[in-house]
Amino acid sequence: MRSIDRDISSYPDPNQYRTVLSHPINIPHGHLCVASVMTAQIPFSFYPVNSKNNTLKIELNGTNPVDGDEVVTAAEFTLTAGNYTATELRDEIQSKLRDGVVFSDTDDARAELPKIEVEYDSKINKYKFTVTGKQDGDNPELVNVIIKSGTTCGKLLGLPSNQVTADTDFNAGDGREASVIFTSPYSINVAGDDTLYLRTNLGTGRSMSYETRTQNSGDLLAKIPIRVSPFSIIHYDADESTFKAQIKEGGQIDEISVRLTDSENRLVDFNGIDNEISIKFEVIRKSNHEDYELMKRDPYKQDRTLFPKNRGPPPTKDSK
């Protein structure tokens, strides 16, 4: 299946498409059919920072340094999509925050706003945020930073999915500091997902792994590990596949639909670059398949089950 052969009007992006088979695959009664991915060539043309995970919602509660009254300012920022190193993403975050209406930048007209600094600690792979209000005068400006739960870039920044609040002690009395420092509680992740999920319309809603003997609901046909650098080709080989989709007995396959998603079942944006996937179908006589499974569970039944001419008591452990 090649995404370049898809109907562009129905599937404008190569992250999902459908192939209609010129010769349908029929599964006879009394037979079991399973499908699995043989090979795949998928471009690493998608961005770890994308439209699904690039928003940052912040609310800043501060005090007016003139009269001490509380001031609340909220803003939402959008990070530019792309590939980043940890320091490049830090610069992007700090730049966007300073360009907003919450924090100050180099413009003298905004010098009264609180200042923000974002540092990257390579030893622990975390970001440290420092927000400082105006400290001169009779009322040092206190700051209370809230990263709202609607933020989608939390995983990139090492933040939890729920709301995060970092503040100074508003009731500490005189001599209290006018700055707040907080470090991301989790390690940052600028690499994005390490796996692509290939989903199809095949099967009965069940994926099977014969190696692990686990069963998972859904339309998943393969988990494709990402082991190459950005802007390279991901080559996937059947040797790495443990997933097989069981297809309904007596059914017919006349079309195959595929979707390539991330771990949260969101379509991956390949930026228009096409991919290619090979799917293998195996048709097995159901009785033989059941005997084979029985033999794997109890090797001592092999002699009686698969070779009925050799009927007799099961071999002992010492026999050859």
Q: Which residues contact 267 (CB under 8 A, 6 or more apart)?
A: 13, 15, 16, 259, 260, 261
135 is in which domain, residue-wise?
55-183
Residues 200 and 272 occupy one common structural domain: yes
Residues 67 and 179 in one domain: yes
Is residue 309, in this structure, part of any structural domain at all? no
* 22 plus 73 within the same structural domain: no
Same domain as 30, residue 141: no
CA–chain centroid gap for 49, Å, is 11
Of 120, 154, 183, the position where a domain reaches its end is: 183
Residues 101 and 169 in one domain: yes
Strands (E), the chain: 16-26, 31-43, 55-63, 70-78, 115-121, 126-132, 143-147, 164-167, 179-183, 195-200, 206-209, 214-217, 220-225, 233-237, 243-247, 252-261, 276-285
- Nearest CA to 126 out of 81, 182, 166, 165 is that of 182
**Residue 59's beta-bridge partner residues?**
74, 146
Q: Is residue 306 part of a domain?
A: no
Structure tokens that stand for 56 in this block: 């940052």
Task: Answer whether 64's CB lies under 8 Å from 72's CB.
Answer: no
Among 135, 156, 183, the domain boundary falls at 183
With respect to residue 290, please indicate whether it lies within any of the assigned structural domains: no
Same domain, 63 and 141: yes
The answer to whether residues 45 and 233 touch, using CB atoms and an 8 Å cutoff, is no
**77-116 burial, b for 16+ CB within 10 Å, e for fewer?**
bebebebbebeebbebbbebbbebebbbbeeeeeeebbbb
Phi/psi at 304 (5° precision): -85, -30
Q: Is 141 a domain residue?
A: yes
Q: Which of 183, 211, 226 is the last residue of a domain?
A: 183
Helical (H) or strand (E) element with 157:
helix 154-157
pLDDT at 216: 46
Nearest to 118 by CA among 106, 131, 102: 131
Whether 320 maps to a domain, the answer reads no
139, 78: one domain: yes
In a domain, 103, yes or no: yes
- Residues 6 or more apart whose Cβ sits within 8 Å of residue 18: 6, 7, 10, 11, 255, 256, 257, 258
Does some domain include residue 22? yes
pLDDT number for residue 55 = 92
Question: Does residue 115 share a domain with residue 95?
Answer: yes
Question: pLDDT truncated to tens, each residue of the chain (320 aa)?
Answer: 999 999 999 999 999 999 999 988 888 887 888 888 999 999 999 999 999 889 999 888 777 767 767 778 888 999 999 999 999 999 999 888 888 777 776 556 566 777 888 899 999 999 998 888 776 666 666 777 888 888 899 888 898 877 777 765 544 454 445 677 888 889 998 888 889 999 998 865 444 444 333 444 468 888 899 999 889 999 998 775 567 777 777 778 889 999 999 988 889 999 999 999 999 988 887 765 555 555 555 555 444 444 444 445 555 556 55
Rounded-to-integer distance, Cα 86 and Cα 260, Å: 27
- Could you tell me if 205 and 174 lie in one domain? no
pLDDT score of 279: 92
What is the rounded distance in angstroms from the CA atom of residue 91 to the CA atom of residue 45?
23
Torsions phi, psi of 61, nearest 5? -100, 120
Angle of CA points 196, 201, 204, to nearest 5°: 110
User: Tokens representing 191?
Assistant: 């690499």
**Contact 190/126 with Cβ under 8 angstroms?**
no
Report the 10 Å Cβ neighbour count for 244: 22
For the beta carbon of residue 253, count every other beta carbon within 10 angstroms. 18
Q: Is the same domain home to 208 and 268?
A: yes
Query: 109 and 173 share a domain?
Result: yes
The Cα–Cα gap between 3 and 236 comes to: 16
**Domain match, 41 and 158 both:** no
CB 11 within 8 A of CB 17: yes
Tally of structural domains, the chain: 2
The vertex-182 CA angle with 179 and 188, nearest 5°, equals: 145
**pTM of this structure:** 0.72
179 found inside a domain:
yes
CATH number, domain at 39? 2.60.120.1100
